[in-house]
Amino acid sequence: MKRVLALLCAFIVTLVMMPPAQAHASASTSTLKLAWTYVALADPKASHWNSADDALVGTGVQPPGVFRSFFRMDISPMHGKKLLHATFQGYLNSGACDPSIELWLTGEISPETTWLNQPAWTRNLGTGTVADGFDSCFFNWRISDLVREAAARGERHLTFGLRAASEVGPRNLRVFETDQVNHPYWGRFSTPVLRFFYNTVPEVPTDPAINLNDSCGPEPRPATRFVSTTTPTLGAELVNPDRVHGDRVSARFEWADSSGTVLGSATSASGSEGRHCTEIPEGLLADGQTYQWRVRAEDHYQEPETLEMLSDASDWTAWQEFTVDVTRPTLPAIASETYPENATGGLVGTPGVFTFSPGESTDVVSFRYRLVPASLPPQQVTADAEGRASVTLTPTSTFRNTLYVRAEDRAGNVGPERAYSFTPRRNPAPLITSTVYPENASGGGAGVPGEFTFSPNGAQDVVAYGYRLGSGETLRTPADTPTVTITPGTAGPHTLSVWSIDARGYLSWTRNYSFTVN
């Protein structure tokens, strides 16, 4: 009891003295027996393979003789792990609770295992320690090196033998539980077990990428190896296999010049798995220079007995190369044969080709443009290898139009906006003739019908004419029947307004034809 209380006090003191922010326990797990048996000198040919009995060890009177027990134990969970401690633990049901039982590494066991056909006793692992208290007795053997070596060889299980340190002299039979214990203090547990404290070395980070702003997200990232900032944010995805045990991970970043000389490093805040980032500080990178960076994962955990903080690291990712480009493109050049700049151009509604050139810049990859007035949202077009691009636009307004264009380079830098203004041409007003009601003269009379004939006057693609007498109803006639009959209802001056309509639905200028009714 004194030993148990001393251990509990030491553990409590350690917890109180440990800063809470560092309390990241190492991972732990346990495995149970895969098979077991015991052998008896008094019955040398008998097999007790996977018996429902308890495990007998040592010398006894009832039952009489010498007994040894064997357990095949699973170590496969330690494959690929960094093993810190491994312990074989047994629970004593009856017998003396003192460290006089030896644990051995043995050869394989099977249903044919008997006293006369025992496996080889290959390695004595010692008498271990015992912990008694609360009406219980646990036997513990530290076997860390053994399990570590076997896991490294790829072995999936080990076989252990229990025997008395001395099998002659006083009778001292130990009976070990081989199934489950329902203890009033410790609760329900299985025995024997292998207990492991371990750490899983982090995996190499994935998705290493530069973020163009100071947030730790996967976007926005550069489309090429060119970046438009001297303080890029480096990021990668980390996986933490031991997260359920409270293990913490961080990312260590390094950046170097093109020759491989490391210029600096930084570590992200210790936390859970997911994306970890760091920003390269101002003043370390220069415009036009090429650099490279890499990242590895590091985890942080406590050594299970000393509570010392330990850390393991993954391999580095491959070097990621990038070039700093913070120089903005210059004003682009714009040209159009259909709609020359600062002039009246093609007929409204006529598609026109506009060609964008990079100006003085040599790394333009696209252009952003918008036409005002227009109902379309801003657009973007990819440039060719020479930094040029052409788009087809159809102006819908006969008033002054302005095309705004900005160049974008390989690093995503956007240059100043160039304004290109032009005015689409409108079809001329149609001609009007009438015999009954000549223009600017008197004729006809109230209630006297008169024919009016419309002609294009050079207008293109005319399909119809619209017309209206004074403030009256607006009417329409097809271009192939350009003569209409109008009957003025009153004497005095009148005005006939006429316009042509082209195939795209655009209206010409309006002709106002004045005449006087007698």
DSSP 11: H
**What average pLDDT does this structure show over 310-331?**
95
Higher pLDDT, residue 423 or 60: 423
Query: Hey, do 21-199 and 206-324 end up sharing a CATH topology, with the first three levels equal?
Result: no
**Among residues 158, 65, 63, which one has the least CA distance to residue 106?**
158
SS (H, E, C) 121-171: EEEECCCCEEEECCCCEEEEEECHHHHHHHHHCCCCEEEEEEEECCCCCCC
pLDDT one-digit tens code per residue, 66-109: 999 999 999 999 999 999 999 999 999 999 999 999 999 999 99
- To the nearest 10°, report the CA torsion of 462, 466, 470, 474: -170
- Using DSSP, state whether 93 is helix, strand or coil: strand
Residue given tokens 């917890």 in the structure block: 15
Question: Which residues are bridge partners to 254 per DSSP?
Answer: 265, 294
Query: Which residues are within 8 A (CB) of 385 and not within 5 positions of it... i.e. 6 or more apart?
Result: none
Which pLDDT does position 257 carry in this prediction? 96
Tokens of 428: 């001329």
pLDDT one-digit tens code per residue, 268-289: 998 888 999 999 999 999 999 9
pLDDT of 14 over the 60 cut: no
Percent of the chain with pLDDT over 70: 95
Q: Where are the domains of the chain?
A: 21-199, 206-324, 333-425, 431-517
Rounded distance between C-alpha atoms, residue 185 and residue 211, angstroms: 55
61 band by pLDDT with thresholds 50, 70 and 90: confident
The two beta strands, 157-164 and 379-382, are unpaired
**Among residues 130, 188, 171, 162, which one has the least CA distance to residue 3?**
130
Fold exhibited by the domain 333-425:
Immunoglobulin-like (2.60.40)
**What average pLDDT does this structure show over 485-496?**
96
Rounded distance between C-alpha atoms, residue 481 and residue 178, angstroms: 110
pLDDT of 2 over the 50 cut: no
The amino acid at residue 462 is V
Count Cα neighbours of 467 within 13 Å in the Cβ-side half-sphere.
25
Instruction: Say if CB 213 and CB 255 are below 8 A apart.
Output: no
355 band by pLDDT with thresholds 50, 70 and 90: very high
Query: Which residues are within 8 A (CB) of 152 and not within 5 positions of it... i.e. 6 or more apart?
Result: none
Instruction: Say if CB 181 and CB 91 are below 8 A apart.
Output: yes
Rounded distance between C-alpha atoms, residue 465 and residue 436, angstroms: 20
* Range with the poorest average pLDDT among 21-30, 142-151, 315-324, 432-441: 21-30
Tokens of 126: 């010692």
10 band by pLDDT with thresholds 50, 70 and 90: very low
pLDDT of 3 over the 90 cut: no
pLDDT one-digit tens code per residue, 221-235: 777 789 999 999 999
Architecture of domain 21-199: Sandwich (2.60)
Rounded distance between C-alpha atoms, residue 87 and residue 421, angstroms: 84
Q: What is the pTM of this model?
A: 0.70
Tell me which of 1.20.120, 2.40.160, 2.60.40, 1.20.1070 is the CATH number of domain 206-324. Answer: 2.60.40
* Number of separate helices (H) and strands (E) present in the chain: 2, 38
Region for residue 50 given its phi and psi (left: phi exceeds 0; alpha: psi -120 to 50; beta: otherwise): left
The amino acid at residue 12 is I
- Domain spanning 431-517: which superfamily? Immunoglobulins (2.60.40.10)
